Amino acid sequence: MVKVAVYGKGGIGKSTMSANITAALSDKGLKVLQIGCDPKHDSTRLLLNGELPTTILEYLKQTPEAERSLNDVISVGYKGCLCAESGGPDPGVGCAGRGIISAFNLLSSLGIDSIKKDVTLYDVLGDVVCGGFAVPIRNEYAERIFIVSSGEFMSIYAANNILKGVSNYDPDRIGGIIFNSRGGPEEPGRITRFSEAVGIPIVATFDRSKLFAEAEENGKTVVEMFPDSKEAKSFRALGDLIINGKLNSARYLSESELEQVVLGRSITRQRTAREVPATLGSAAPDRKKRYTSRNVEDHDPYTGCAFAGAQSVCASIPNMATVLHSPLNCAQFAFQMASASAKRAHMYGSMPVAGFIDPRVDCTAMAEDDMVFGATAKLRKKIEEQISAGYDRIAVITSCSSGIIGDNVADTISQIESENPGVKIALVEEDGDINGDFMQGVIDAGVYLSRRFAVEQEKTDSVNIIGTKTISTNCMETENIVRAALEALGLKVNCAYPGCGHTSDIERITAAKYNLMLNPDRFTKQLCQQLEDDFGIPAIRHIVRPGLTGMRGWLGEIAEKFGRQREFEAYMKLIESEYRVRAETIPSVLKGKRVHVMSISKDIDWLLEGAESAGMVLEDIAVVNRVDYTNDTDLESRYPQVRVIETNDLGPEKERVAEAKPDIVFTSARLPVGILQVPIPLVQEDDPFFAIKFFTETARKLMAPAEAGWRRDVVRP
């Protein structure tokens, strides 16, 4: 079987050429399958008496998978030739290139390869150069490629681009140029010069003829209606060449070469500075600064996807609906992070985030046909369902699929808001992992929600808690600890952000005088920077940390900012007194134990304070300064013996520990067997007594028997 692709600029007559070639080959008794790969879906109408068949993509969209049949998308035309049209979306929506791929996939799944045929001819729009329209020139489809062109410059320009596209695959498949003249006197010279320059012969020439128009008015090819005409004879000769002709290698010209060859002159595009209108470049574009995750900024491999990160924030807000504009599998991957967090919180006896208990999350469930035709209608329906359910605050998060096909989500949201006064919709344009990693999505959700929902408010004696880790099991407990400390100073938490609070909290985020960072990581810093840039709210320098030293840092700075030093000292006196009492309850089994520390977190003062309170001996303290997993903020330590390891190779450090043989190593890394290792928790409660809890639990583990009793019961002699 011979597989042929006919390419050409839109409107240049390639469909007319293709249909007449198919008719000429059918006259010879060959079984021809012609597949139109153009959204206009008119490639085969001259073979079907002027009728337009149902397109493959229309069929894909309207017919359930179990009911699909090849006979429904294949029509029988002139002298038994077979006809199919891929079709495409309406102008301005969806992705026509993706439609070509979907059409080919459907034909394959329905068994097109099982049909006996001598020639398959693909009629392809050639001035669209995306990957979808390039599918027919891949090796598994077209063996021979012909290019239809007039002598007009833009038609030749498209022909040159087609040659460039073929050269990216197997270039030695060009059958030649089919010259379809528009009748201009300069055309023969232009097309001839181009043909000679690229080394591709003109294999057929068709002059402007009224026979084409007359045949088309009757829904027929020239070959069928005027079989004895000069044009019909030319198509029969071209049919022979298409089957048996010599193939050429695809060569193409640069733009400047093309202009010189075809037009006989060079066009200079570069302007001098004096030629640039004064209005251009006089004002910077009004673009908001982008706040990036560490992986995005450093161009490191992504961990997770921005779509999932944004969803983890939006789903945590209990009075806001979240619509995921994505396929179902993307939504499931993102949603499981919220559900898993709630389950873990229940398992460990923690307080789950309220929004995660029964999150209001829906999905547009984009399918194959949506990738072609667009899915803004589905999006509108889902948003309207949430509005009907009583939600006037909604977040829409876009996935890779909607981003790639260019769904106009912003306009859809704008229209819905204009139709529903009082409704506010925050668009979080993530486009899946195209926009970044999981942390980028968390940052973006915080930025977009505050920009959409925040309202200018009068300042109060309050602070915003920034950096709530919604998927952490102890985030609610940590927030409550901070709230209690601030209330002791007569201050209030204005908003906990992002996540956890209601949209009303976001609306009043501008009422706080300061932002308080809850974590020493990048997303907390970036959100604080955005809130300062957009709303003028500065951040407290000290970050909320566990332990006595940690609390004295952040709470003391807040007390100074608000003039509450007296209340602060009174509160700290109570906290320090209680700390000493609780420290007495740490089992004595830890006292005198020699301790080494190897941490991937720079925040270890709470750990060292606790070890001292337990009577342990601190021999060696090392922090691994790895940018891929350490804190984004350099936290100050009051312990001068802390060593910073600037290496990715921990082998020497492990050997150092093995030689020292300490009683206990508190570590974030796996060490040689035979050394008692206690893992350092990656996420701590910002509690002044957290170290007491941690070392009490560590002591209890040490006091447990080395071998569980049930083992002795089941081991047989």
Cα separation of 370 and 393, whole Å? Answer: 26
- Give the CA angle between residues 121, 124, 130 to the nearest 5°: 135
534 is annotated as an active-site residue: no
- In eight-state DSSP terms, residue 633 is S
- In eight-state DSSP terms, residue 288 is P
Q: What are phi and psi of 146, to 5 degrees?
A: -120, 145
Q: 14, 525, 593, 654: which one is catalytic?
A: 14
Cα separation of 77 and 92, whole Å? Answer: 32
343 is annotated as an active-site residue: no
Q: 27, 28, 31, 40: which one is catalytic?
A: 40
Taking the CA of residue 336 as centre, how many other CA atoms within 13 Å lie in the half-sphere pointing to its CB? 6
H/E stretch holding 197 reads helix 187-198
User: What b/e readout covers 376-388, taking b as 16+ CB neighbours within 10 angstroms?
Assistant: bebbbebbeebbe
Region at 59 (left for phi over 0; alpha for psi -120 to 50; beta for the rest): alpha
Q: What share of the chain is helix, strand, coil (3-state, %, to 5)?
A: 45, 15, 40
14 is annotated as an active-site residue: yes
Q: 9, 79, 220, 382: which one is catalytic?
A: 9
- Which residue in this structure is represented by tokens 């982008």? 290
Q: Could you count the other beta carbons within 10 Å of the beta carbon of residue 638?
A: 10
693 is annotated as an active-site residue: no
Q: 123, 127, 407, 521: which one is catalytic?
A: 127
Q: What 3-state class would DSSP assign to 684?
A: coil
User: Cβ contacts of residue 381 below 8 Å, gap of 6+?
Assistant: none
Cα separation of 528 and 497, whole Å? Answer: 10
Would you state the structure tokens that stand for residue 519, as one six-digit string? 């974590």
Give the residue from 170, 146, 152, 222 showing the smallest Cα distance to 12.
152
Find out whether 424 and 417 touch, Cβ atoms under 8 Å: yes
Active-site residue numbers? 9, 14, 40, 127
